[in-house]
Amino acid sequence: MLLVIDIGNTNAVIGIYQEQELISSWRVASDKTKTSDELGILFNELFKVKNISPSKISAGILSSVVPTITPNVVEMCQDYFNLSPLLIGPGLKTGLNIKYENPKEVGADRIVNAVAALSLYGGPLIIVDFGTATTFCAVSQNGEYLGGVICPGVLVSAEALFSKASKLPRVEIVKQEKIIGKNTVSSIQSGLYYGYTSQVDGIVKQMQAELNWQAKVVFTGGLSQLLADGCTTVDIVNPDLTLEGLRIIYELNQRC
């Protein structure tokens, strides 16, 4: 079995693949304070709940945008599962042609998403990942990573509003039936939800126009399904896109 781990700024997503089938996945907080031993205990407890034997995990691959967590996760994999995971970064074969001015600036998660979407759906593509930041990535039909857009995520925007406006409460991100709120909470929820979905649709439409081709639009990330319900530009929603990309990159590098 293959262990795949994607470490984001807010959450880490963990998956177990049996060949090409994702048999279990988990979303946990990205905690910079956890030691490798604490992570090992956490992973073992997660596996125990799903009756997954750690001894059957034979390989791993790791994507991370939080450098301070990465060494502890690698050490945990070595100590608790007797494997050294592949790390998404320079030197690893992805099949993409990165057209960024400085390819090293492209986040590991954005590369993994692009590999997955291109393999699963074909290009051209616009990939929208709803995380701590919301990223928009343009990928050509020939596998060229052309660049993209980075915005504050909807949860970051909500937290900023709560922390900077003393009389406004923290609210849950939900889709209101009507955009005009009748109280403070529903008004904030409408502003966050409809403001954000309008922003996403607007950026996607401008990217389509600038690229001068009609790309498939793929949403991923923890809030992808919720926000897709309010967007008109989305074609495909795949919350497990990053995990799929990690599996594909692992298999690609085993064939080298």
Domain spans, the chain: 2-87, 97-246
Token pair of 62, please?
A: 């790791």
- Determine which of 161-165, 225-229, 243-247 has the lowest per-residue pLDDT on average: 161-165
Token pair of 91, please?
A: 């030197």
Backbone angle region of 172, left / alpha / beta, with phi > 0 → left and psi within -120 to 50 → alpha: beta
Query: H or E element: which one contains 2?
Result: strand 2-7
* Per-residue confidence band for 181, with pLDDT thresholds at 50, 70 and 90: very high
* Per-residue confidence band for 46, with pLDDT thresholds at 50, 70 and 90: very high
- Positions marked active-site: 109
DSSP 168: P
d(Cα 238, Cα 25) in Å, to the nearest integer?
14
* Per-residue confidence band for 168, with pLDDT thresholds at 50, 70 and 90: confident
What is the pTM (predicted TM-score) of this model?
0.91
Homologous superfamily (CATH) for 97-246: ATPase, nucleotide binding domain (3.30.420.40)
pLDDT on residue 89? 87
Query: H or E element: which one contains 89?
Result: none
Give the contacts of 131 (CB within 8 A, at least 6 positions apart).
8, 9, 10, 11, 109, 153, 221, 222
Homologous superfamily (CATH) for 2-87: ATPase, nucleotide binding domain (3.30.420.40)
Beta bridge partners of 86: 61
Positive or negative CA dihedral for 157, 162, 164, 167? positive
Query: Please, what is the average pLDDT of the chain?
Result: 94
d(Cα 133, Cα 62) in Å, to the nearest integer?
20
Give yes or no for residue 214 having a pLDDT over 70.
Answer: yes
| Per-residue pLDDT tens digits for 55-110 | 999 999 999 999 999 999 999 999 999 999 999 988 889 999 999 999 889 989 99
**Fold match flag (2-87 vs 97-246):** yes
pLDDT on residue 221? 92
Nearest to 108 by CA among 225, 4, 236, 228: 4
| Per-residue pLDDT tens digits for 116-165 | 999 999 999 999 999 999 999 999 999 999 999 999 999 999 999 888 88
**Cα–Cα distance list, 85 to 81, 97, 239 (Å):** 10, 24, 23
